[in-house]
């Protein structure tokens, strides 16, 4: 995970960015924090939505809700088996993305109101999952395994962090983002009542989330 900061420094240099803000959702939360950790003088503030905490910290994997993630946590050291399962899942998803999205909703009923809110939003999620599996299992597998040893500690990220989480998350317990916020030295937590893991894309929450990083002030 820590290597992501160096990658993004190269990108920021290429784009001639001086100071900027970063945002991340779910497993993208550690990626955003890695950028802030790597560039403390350039990243001004961070916004996180439903972020995960380091899986190698005591008790954190007990805060997982989704059955598949719980299984991965138990089988963490059997990487060949996890990769095989991710490959099988990617193959099934890419074969029929709409059906895959339906299966996601079946597993996570609290996400249905966001994923199926309207045809446009459903199409957004279908494209999101298609792109997520574009490299078959590779991207999902690497990101999942990187959630254990980040290579840095949350308490080393000193920038202001606005952290948002839903009370009806089907993937992680609200305890996990609250735990992460307690480790970040300058973090403010905001609960979204009745929101699921993907609820941050619904219009009002999206405006609030993006607004948290929309300016450098």
Q: 39: number of CA atoms within 13 Å, CB side?
A: 25
- The pTM assigned to this predicted structure is 0.92
State pLDDT tens for residues 179-203.
Answer: 999 999 999 999 999 999 999 999 9
State pLDDT tens for residues 36-89.
Answer: 999 999 999 999 999 999 999 999 999 999 998 999 999 999 999 999 989 998
State pLDDT tens for residues 144-165.
Answer: 999 999 999 999 999 999 999 9
First and final CA of the chain: distance in angstroms? 28
pLDDT-above-90 percentage for the chain: 82
- What CATH number is given for 3-211 in this structure? 3.40.50.1820
Residue 161, H or E segment: strand 161-166
- In order, the DSSP letters of 70-91 are HHHHHTTT-HHHHHHHHHHHHH
Q: What is the pLDDT of residue 139?
A: 87
Q: What is the pLDDT of residue 216?
A: 62
């Amino acid at each position: 995970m820590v290597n992501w900061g160096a990658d993004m420094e190269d990108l920021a240099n290429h784009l001639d960015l001086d100071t900027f803000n970063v945002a991340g959702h779910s497993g993208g939360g550690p990626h955003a924090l890695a950028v802030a950790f790597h560039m403390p003088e350039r990243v001004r503030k961070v916004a996180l939505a439903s972020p995960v905490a380091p899986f190698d910290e005591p008790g954190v994997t007990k805060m997982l809700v989704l059955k598949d993630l719980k299984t991965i946590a138990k089988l963490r050291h059997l990487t060949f088996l996890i990769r095989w399962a991710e490959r099988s899942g990617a193959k099934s998803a890419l074969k029929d993305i709409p059906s895959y999205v339906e299966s996601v909703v079946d597993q996570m009923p609290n996400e249905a109101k966001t994923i199926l809110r309207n045809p446009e939003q459903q199409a957004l999620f279908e494209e999101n999952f298609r792109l997520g599996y574009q490299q078959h299992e590779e991207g999902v597998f690497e990101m999942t395994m990187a959630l254990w040893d980040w290579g840095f500690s949350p308490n080393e990220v000193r920038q202001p962090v606005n952290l948002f989480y839903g009370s009806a998350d089907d993937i992680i317990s609200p305890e996990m983002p609250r735990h992460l916020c307690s480790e970040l030295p300058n973090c403010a937590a905001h609960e979204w009542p009745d929101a699921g893991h993907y609820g941050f894309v619904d219009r009002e929450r999206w405006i609030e989330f993006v607004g948290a990083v929309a300016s450098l002030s």
